[in-house]
Amino acid sequence: MEVFLICLGLAIFIWAVIRSVQRSDKLRLANTALSRLDGMVAHRKVIRLNAAGALEGLAIDTESRRLCLLTDERRRILPFEDLIAVDLLVDSDMVTVASRTSQAVGALVGGALLGGMGAVIGGLTGTSTSRKKISKLALRLRLNNLQQPSHTIHFLQTAVPAAIAEPLLREATEWADLLHVVVHQSGQAAAGEKTAGSMPG
pLDDT digits (tens, 9 = 90+) for 143-189: 998 888 999 999 999 999 888 888 898 899 889 889 988 988 887 76
pLDDT for residue 7: 66
Dist CA 87 CA 97 (whole Å):
5
Distance CA 108, CA 90 (A): 12
In a domain, 16, yes or no: no
In a domain, 36, yes or no: no
Residue 55 lies in a domain: no
- Specify if 39 maps to a domain: no
Residues 165/124, Cβ–Cβ less than 8 Å: yes
Confidence of residue 126 (pLDDT cuts 50, 70, 90): very low
> Is residue 27 situated within a structural domain?
no
Which of residues 123 and 162 earns the better pLDDT score?
Answer: 162
Q: What is the pLDDT of residue 82?
A: 94
HEC profile for 61-115?
ECCCCEEEEEECCCEEEEEHHHEEEEEEEECCEEEEEEECCCCCCCEEECHHHCC
Residue 174 forms part of a structural domain: yes
- Its domain, for residue 116, covers 81-198
Number of domains in the chain: 1
21 part of a folded domain? no
**133 pLDDT higher than 90:** no
**Residue among 61, 76, 70, 29 nearest 153 (CA):** 70
Whether 12 is in a domain gets the answer no
pLDDT at 137: 92
Do 105 and 86 form a contact (C-beta atoms < 8 A)? no
Strand partners, 78: 67
